[in-house]
C-alpha cells in the first residue's frame, strides 16, 4: 500500500502498511472522511512524521487523540494551528516550560517549531470524528503507533521519551530503557497537572541529556 508519509519513515514502516489491519484501518478512515467531519485534515494525518524525519529524531512526546474541535488539530500531539486558542493542556505545558527554563509564554500553540528540531509529537490515534473524542480508537491506529514506538526503540539510541499520564506510560512498556531516556509524570491536563506535571522539569532534563550526548538542545 502506498501511504503518503515522509520517505525516511516509509522505509522503516513499509511492512506495517502491508498488513491486513492497516488495510482495514485505511478503509475505515477513508469512509469516515467521506461521511463525517474528521480531524485533522487528510493531508495532515501523518504530519508528525513529515515534520520530524527518522534520522533527525531526538525526542518523542506521546499523546492520545487529535483535538476534536474545528480548526484545532494539525497532526502533532498537543499542538494547534496558528491563531487557534490554546487548549488547557497546552497552556500548562507552556507554564511548565516557563517555570523550568524561564522561556517567555509563546504567542502561538503551533508546535511545528519543536518537530523541526527533532521532536516527534505522536498521538496514539491519528484521526478523530469532530466533537467525538475517542471515536477512532480501537480501529488499528494504536497497533500502528505501537509499531512506530518499537521501531524507534530498536533502531535508534539515546532518544528521550516523555510519557505524561497513565495512557502514555503504558506505551513505555515497549521502550528499551537501557538505551533510551524515559521521563514520566502526570498528564498536563487541568485534572492532573497539579499531581506531578508541574515541577517535573522535563524540558531542562531533555536538554541536559541531549547535551551530555553531544546533541543540540531543543529550543522549547
- Lookup: cell for 130: 469532530
Q: Give the dihedral of Cα atoms 99, 100, 103, 109; nearest 10 deg.
A: -80
**Integer-rounded Cα radius of gyration of the chain:** 17
Q: ∠ CA 192-45-77 to the nearest 5 degrees?
A: 20
Bond from prior residue into 215 cis (ω within 30 degrees of 0)? no
At 184, phi and psi to the nearest 5? Answer: -120, 150
- What CA–CA distance (Å, rounded) separates 56 from 52? 7
Is the Cβ–Cβ distance between 97 and 203 less than 8 Å?
yes
Dihedral sign from CA coordinates of 82, 55, 30, 171 = negative
Please report, in angstroms and rounded to a whole number, the separation of the first and last CA atoms in the chain. Answer: 36
Q: Is 11 a catalytic residue?
A: no
Active-site residue (options: 65, 82, 100, 208): 65
Which residues participate in catalysis according to the annotation? Answer: 65
Amino acid at each position: 500500500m502506498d501511504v503518503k508519509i515522509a520517505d525516511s519513515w516509509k522505509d522503516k514502516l513499509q511492512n506495517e502498511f502491508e498488513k491486513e489491519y492497516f488495510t482495514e484501518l485505511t478503509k475505515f478512515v477513508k469512509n469516515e472522511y467521506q461521511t463525517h467531519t474528521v480531524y485533522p485534515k487528510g493531508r495532515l494525518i501523518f504530519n508528525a512524521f513529515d515534520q520530524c524525519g527518522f534520522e533527525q529524531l531526538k525526542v518523542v512526546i506521546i499523546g492520545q487523540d487529535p483535538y476534536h474541535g474545528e480548526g484545532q488539530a494539525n497532526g502533532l500531539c498537543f499542538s494547534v494551528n496558528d491563531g487557534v486558542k490554546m487548549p488547557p493542556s497546552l497552556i500548562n505545558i507552556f507554564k511548565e516550560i516557563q517555570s523550568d527554563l524561564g522561556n517567555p509564554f509563546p504567542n502561538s500553540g503551533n508546535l511545528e517549531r519543536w518537530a523541526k528540531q527533532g521532536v516527534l509529537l505522536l498521538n496514539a490515534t491519528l484521526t478523530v470524528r469532530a466533537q467525538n473524542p475517542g471515536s477512532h480508537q480501537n480501529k488499528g491506529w494504536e497497533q500502528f503507533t505501537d509499531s512506530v514506538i518499537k521501531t524507534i526503540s530498536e533502531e535508534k539510541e539515546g532518544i528521550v521519551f516523555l510519557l505524561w499520564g497513565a495512557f502514555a506510560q503504558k506505551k513505555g512498556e515497549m521502550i528499551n530503557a537501557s538505551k533510551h531516556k524515559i521521563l514520566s509524570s502526570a498528564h498536563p491536563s487541568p485534572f492532573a497537572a497539579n499531581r506531578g506535571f508541574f515541577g517535573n522539569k522535563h524540558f531542562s532534563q531533555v536538554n541536559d541529556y541531549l547535551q551530555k550526548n553531544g546533541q543540540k538542545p531543543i529550543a522549547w
